[in-house]
Amino acid sequence: MNWLYDFTYLTQSIHESLSRNFEQGTVVLIEMILVGLAFMILFALLGLVLVYAERKVSAFFQQRLGPMRVGKWGTAQTLADVIKLLMKEPLINKNADKFLFNLAPYIIMITAFMTMAALPFAKGLQALDFDIGLLYISAVSSLGVVGILLAGWSSDNKYSLIGALRSGAQVISYELSVGLSLLTIVILTGSLQLSVIVESQANGWWIFKGHIPAVIAFIIFLIASTAETNRGPFDLAEAESELTAGFHTEYSGMKFAFFFLAEFANMFIVSALGATVFLGGWMPFHIGGWEVFNNIMDYIPPIFWFFGKVSFIIFLMMWFRWTFPRLRIDQLLTLEWKYLLPINLMNILVMAFLVLMGWYF
């Protein structure tokens, strides 16, 4: 069971056994394929679990039961949906830009994959440990809007176009708040490398160690990241009650499923990022100086800590989504430029002052 606590040995032994049998170049190739397969499996599982979770959670928030018919408690509902989507006809508009129309869902999926690569899932379980991991994630995740814009533009549909343009305005605005709220913690860690950020929380998570400014940054991060994933009260890009389905109105079958899957994958990524930066990633709940307590907490494997925290943030985002009404586009931009951004900038200043004076734990 030791490998569950530290994946370094497992990955190392796989690497060594491959190196004994193959040349250097082949080893890299095989490892890339293995990692890619692992991420694909994770993606598929995430899609299945999160769609079911979303439907169930939303149902319970609205005093409903949600899917109950397929399988016990409706657990096989998403599987049935996948089969249905696979068998659907992929329709393309007559005047659609066919190349871009087909490309858009893949851009969104590739973005989600690229972001996933830099996330630390557990100790030693990270595909790429960049020294600018945080910057990389926030840079790549904003590429997803290109896919949305292409989808809206190439569909040759007014609703799609409006949805895509709204999404563009929204993602570009809220990107700022996400970046700045993450920067608040980067002031504390002094590093953009995600593994270093996680290690720096060994004696307490930043949301506790950085107290007031960290909590404010966390709240802003939650709001802005919900907006960035086009979810919750900020789903103007889809806005099913006004724009039918926004940018993916014209998509059907598996291409629609890609958009759907990418939304949930993005939700996972954003939650994982929030969990890593604010809630300590895979680091168990530690309090500096309490050795016995820390040892007890260490018995729970890091990967469970990570997924626990991620599901907590995902639950929060679902709570937002099923509680608050959708914002108007002007309210959306007012919230960002008049409230979140100034508060965020002030917050960074306060945090820098606190770090300078050493007033954090």
Contact residues: another protein, CB under 8 A: 57, 59-65, 68, 319-320, 322-324, 339, 343
Closest separation in Å from C-beta 340 to another protein: 10
- Output the smallest distance, CB 20 to another protein, in A: 53
CB of 305 to another protein, least distance (A): 23
Q: Which is nearer to another protein, 69 or 94 (CB)?
A: 69
Minimum CB separation from another protein for residue 60, in Å? 5
Query: 57 vs 92, which CB is nearer to another protein?
Result: 57
Minimum Å distance from CB 77 to another protein? Answer: 15
User: Considering beta carbons, is residue 22 or 324 the nearer one to another protein?
Assistant: 324
Nearer Cβ to another protein, position 188 or 216?
A: 216
Q: How far is the CB of 57 from another protein (least distance, A)?
A: 7
Closer CB to another protein, 315 or 361, in the complex: 315
Closest to another protein by CB, 85 or 316: 316
Looking at the Cβ atoms of 297 and 343, the one nearer to another protein is 343
HEC secondary structure over the chain: CHHHCCCHHHHHHHHHHHHHHCCHHHHHHHHHHHHHHHHHHHHHHHHHHHHHHHHHHHHHHCCCCCCCCCCHHHCCHHHHHHHHHHHCCCCCCCCCCHHHHHHHHHHHHHHHHHHHHCCCCECCECCCCCCCHHHHHHHHHCCHHHHHHHHHHHCCCHHHHHHHHHHHHHHHHHHHHHHHHHHHHHHHHCCCCHHHHHHCCCCCCHHHHCHHHHHHHHHHHHHHHHHHCCCHHHCCCCCCCCCCCHHHCCCCHHHHHHHHHHHHHHHHHHHHHHHHHHCCCCCCCCCCCCHHHHHHHHCCCHHHHHHHHHHHHHHHHHHHHCCCCCCCHHHHHHHHHHHHHHHHHHHHHHHHHHHHHCCCC
Shortest CB 332 distance to another protein, Å? 14
Closest to another protein by CB, 12 or 323: 323
How far apart (Å, rounded) are the C-alpha atoms in residues 162 and 175? 20
Cα 258 to chain centroid distance, Å, stands at: 15
CB of 231 to another protein, least distance (A): 16
